[in-house]
Structure 1
């Protein structure tokens, strides 16, 4: 496996010739799973008070925003967030999923209308199935069989280089090629001969141990992610499954906010993500993982804020159409308005112009100009500029208040 090179590292990197399997003495005391106290993680609660408080506040705001939504709007928001989650989690690993295919796959699970023109993508279907199972069945025990089922969903087609749906058959490392001759090893996962007992210990902790210990749910989610990706039980897909497990743990939190998702935020700070993981997985850091938990909780707060913005945008769309429900808006105008409303504040760069409108609706420039002028007269859009430079924007301020 490979990953983009982290921006920071607390340990001297292990550089090897490409394809070389390092001898045991080269990897001794390099990674956290080699620590004699593994996996007895420790952290300093006094340093977590502030980031945990901010994350809890953000989670509370998201929960309250979600409660305002009507049932249909709530499902639409969840569909948008899950689709974004699926696309983002794949993008973190450098894999591109068609957003329209992902949105259609998620919509099927939520029994929402689907885009009949969206291409069918088996990979999108698999990711959607994993996300849906983690959400819909969040109270079900986590088992090896369930993890293997997720893995098969992520790899719907046979791959000669990947053992699909079973634990990896050998050693595995996370590497960055730096030249044709050399690679940097960021992590060698736990040895294959101890993989089963290590995974069983993790599953026991997740299902019972962490609950009995009375761990805060957000701290538990951070531990879940770090522990799982350090074990690295599969040939590939460990990051995507690890992030699905993080969402599962968040769904099991006492707040139980299904809209809280992490992958889009992690994608935005991907170098920081890999750097934070590498520091936490280094043997020299010991079992004290406070920096990782601080970083993780900061990202929970940011992720909740981003999901809240999606909720607020949905509420604003509803308020917009409520205000203009009596206006004489034709189908071309409605299509353009919906496209602008779906893009959100600042999302439709440059505003709507006559050329964009004509292209969107396959109409003449004269018709486009007339339709846009009528929308401005009705107060649906605000015009700026003049002549051929005239553009139109939704005035979001009133609707987002």
Structure 2
């Protein structure tokens, strides 16, 4: 028996008081992040917004096994915000998920409705020709199942309500979401609302495809409404790092109405996501300090390498920058590479580790 087959569905069972400490930490971390962002200039804040949104678009797709191009995502998101871009041609998948992320950011405060969900589904399935129902709830008669294993011996992890029940289930879900949100008559705590939102939506599985990505987006909409601003949270990034635990948590909570375990998992994931976002914010702050410190002290080759290293993000080049990396990026001969790198160490822009072929260089930032 699946949870939606229980007589009391969808009256989920949990104790709000069990999650008070998670709630306190969530708002505390959100306040720290907002304060940290104030130390970033306007250009840096734009970079932060684009980086976090494109990373979320990338990771929410990777969770579902779809691997997109980061540069195309960033270009599409920048274009939709009216920012300068490289005017590249954007593939349909990257354009679609980017449109959904920007709409989520700009219209987080709007009540949830079918029209909004249909629009998100239409953007996500941009360029698809293999689906019967695009921009609407599923209508096929086959069971909507989550399965794994070989053909002929599938393991059924979950079966959603039949398509004929979806319109009524979604009408009830949308009413519940708005009524229990920040401005609703039956307001729930922020993390509890976002957690139940995700599980509830996934149990209905209303679309032919894209349910995971839309479900995570609705949870972020819930958190944004609770904060009164776009959340810019690395939720999908954190889930993707250990997506096996994510799917196991969903599966453990799709048969009964008691879902305390799922809410705890979700709360912990959100707090980890906030920590990662705070790391990205600090990285952007240190990037600004670095450029101010070494303004006009790099030649064109050195500038190109520094930009490339910062573009690698928080984790930078895996194992550090080698002389071979430098030569590959700049096209410089060996002697020029050695001279450029020695100068970067001399002025304090790079930190050097190792010797000979094991020599590696790292950005000298307080991170």
- Say if 1:296 and 1:103 are closer, same or farther in 2 by CA, change over 3 A: same
State the shift of 1:345 in Å. 5.4
Q: For residue 113 of structure 1, what is the aligned residue in structure 2? A: 84
SS of match in other structure, 1:383: strand
- Say if 1:306 and 1:231 are closer, same or farther in 2 by CA, change over 3 A: same
Q: For residue 316 of structure 2, what is the aligned residue in structure 1? A: 347
Say whether 1:58 aligns with 2:38.
Answer: no
Q: Deviations over 1:17-64 (max 9, x none)?
A: xxxxxxxxxxxxx11111111111221233212333333333232222
- Match for 1:84 among 52, 55, 64? 55
Q: Is the 8 A contact 1:353 1:391 kept in 2?
A: yes
Q: For residue 293 of structure 1, what is the aligned residue in structure 2? A: 263
- Say if 1:177 and 1:281 are closer, same or farther in 2 by CA, change over 3 A: closer
Q: Is the 8 A contact 1:151 1:164 kept in 2?
A: yes
Q: Deviations over 1:268-293 (max 9, x none)?
A: 121111111111111xx3x2211111
Q: Is the 8 A contact 1:199 1:231 kept in 2?
A: yes
Cα distance in 2 for residues equivalent to 1:330 and 1:256 = 41
Consecutive unaligned residues of structure 2, counting only runs of 5 or more, are none
Q: Is the 8 A contact 2:351 2:361 kept in 1?
A: yes
Q: Is the 8 A contact 1:351 1:392 kept in 2?
A: yes
Cα distance in 1 for residues equivalent to 2:271 and 2:335 = 47
Cα distance in 2 for residues equivalent to 1:384 and 1:267 = 32
Higher mean C-alpha displacement, 166-175 vs 200-209: 166-175
- Say if 1:356 and 1:160 are closer, same or farther in 2 by CA, change over 3 A: closer
Say whether 1:366 aligns with 2:339.
Answer: no
- Say if 1:143 and 1:45 are closer, same or farther in 2 by CA, change over 3 A: closer
Summarize the alignment of residues 75-154 of structure 1 with structure 2, pairs less than 5 Å apart: 75-116=46-87, 120-154=90-124
Cα distance in 2 for residues equivalent to 1:46 and 1:158 = 44
Higher mean C-alpha displacement, 60-69 vs 366-375: 60-69
- Match for 1:253 among 226, 230, 248? 226
- Match for 1:387 among 338, 345, 356? 356
Cα distance in 2 for residues equivalent to 1:357 and 1:111 = 34
- Say if 1:153 and 1:345 are closer, same or farther in 2 by CA, change over 3 A: closer
Cα distance in 1 for residues equivalent to 2:309 and 2:128 = 41
State the shift of 1:336 in Å. 0.9
Q: Is the 8 A contact 2:100 2:120 kept in 1?
A: yes
Q: Is the 8 A contact 2:14 2:259 kept in 1?
A: yes
Say whether 1:41 aligns with 2:12.
Answer: yes
Consecutive unaligned residues of structure 1, counting only runs of 5 or more, are 1-29
Q: For residue 176 of structure 2, what is the aligned residue in structure 1? A: 205
Q: For residue 377 of structure 1, what is the aligned residue in structure 2? A: 346
- Say if 1:165 and 1:213 are closer, same or farther in 2 by CA, change over 3 A: same
State the shift of 1:180 in Å. 2.7
Q: For residue 25 of structure 1, what is the aligned residue in structure 2? A: none
Cα distance in 2 for residues equivalent to 1:266 and 1:62 = 20
Higher mean C-alpha displacement, 99-108 vs 128-137: 99-108
TM-score normalised to the size of structure 1? Answer: 0.86
Higher mean C-alpha displacement, 239-248 vs 141-150: 141-150
Cα distance in 2 for residues equivalent to 1:269 and 1:45 = 26
State the shift of 1:95 in Å. 0.9
Summarize the alignment of residues 291-330 of structure 1 with structure 2, pairs less than 5 Å apart: 291-325=261-295, 328-330=297-299
